[in-house]
Amino acid sequence: MDSILQAAILGVVEGLTEFLPVSSTGHLILVGHLLGFTGEKAATFEVVIQLGAILAVVVLYWERFWGLLRPAPGMRFSGVRGLWLLFLTSLPAGLAGLAAHDAIKQYLFGPYTVALALGVGALAILWVERRRRTPTTQTLDDITPLLALGVGAFQCLALWPGFSRSAATIMGGMILGAGRTVAAEYSFIAAVPIMFAATGYDMLKSMHLFTAADLPFLATGFVVSFLSAWLAVKVFIRLLGQVTLRPFAWYRLVLAPIVLIFWQMGLF
């Protein structure tokens, strides 16, 4: 059985980075290499702790998710319309992910490709913030089907490990006219269906790698990821009312060459 401490460390990394524009997949690949926890079993464990992070968003935005089942008066992002918007956002990356799933796993999950994605994503964030205009979409209820589909198209960038699904969808929303905070909130909510689908697919294929003896390891990662993600989302949304995404871009630009140096030194 793997170390409980190892599970806790990976849970913290997943929870803190899943919904920030810094790439949770990239950080998990890097930390996994440093901890010596790689391979099929590690990839499946990452899927399990992603579910913990997803659950944190469901809990934080439970009123919005409940509204999808029981529409509330005056809430346009609810009911059939809300479900349609989420479907449009999930569709492009869902189709692309199914088509390229095996190729992505084979060719893009490594320190070099992650470092490159971190750098490219950072430059994209700086470009989006520089061309920032007065937003036309200020709340979740203002989101249109065209904006939802556009965000979904940008979400395809997240298929490149290290780019960050959160960064791709928040930038996509901002480019298409959403305010920074509402773009982030929609990014969090829209992550739930696509991540449930992706994690469910991976778990069905790989859960046979674990036994009953691994349950404490899996449970630790799941719970720690949930708590870390809950905290990260709360703090991130509060920060977006005061700062831009630029600090996250600079962090990525610092991290990318460090990853390459470690990779060249054979530490990964």
Contact yes or no for 150/172 (Cβ under 8 A): yes
Contact yes or no for 17/255 (Cβ under 8 A): no
Per-residue pLDDT of 152-172, as tens digits, reads 999 999 888 889 999 999 999
Alpha helices per DSSP H over 108-214: 111-130, 145-155, 165-175, 180-206
- The number of residues in the chain equals 268
Global pTM?
0.87
State the DSSP H helix or E strand holding residue 83, giving kind and residue range, or none if neither.
helix 79-107
Contact yes or no for 90/101 (Cβ under 8 A): no
From CA 160, how far away is CA 108, in angstroms rounded?
Answer: 7
Place of tokens 């949930």: 226
Residue 130: how many other CB atoms lie within 10 Å: 9
Amino acid (1-letter code) at residue 255:
L
From CA 13, how far away is CA 27, in angstroms rounded?
Answer: 7
Per-residue pLDDT of 208-234, as tens digits, reads 777 777 788 889 999 999 999 999 999
From CA 104, how far away is CA 114, in angstroms rounded?
Answer: 12
Contact yes or no for 124/171 (Cβ under 8 A): yes
- Output the six-digit token pair for 56: 């944190």
Is residue 68 pLDDT above 80, yes or no? yes
pLDDT at 72: 78
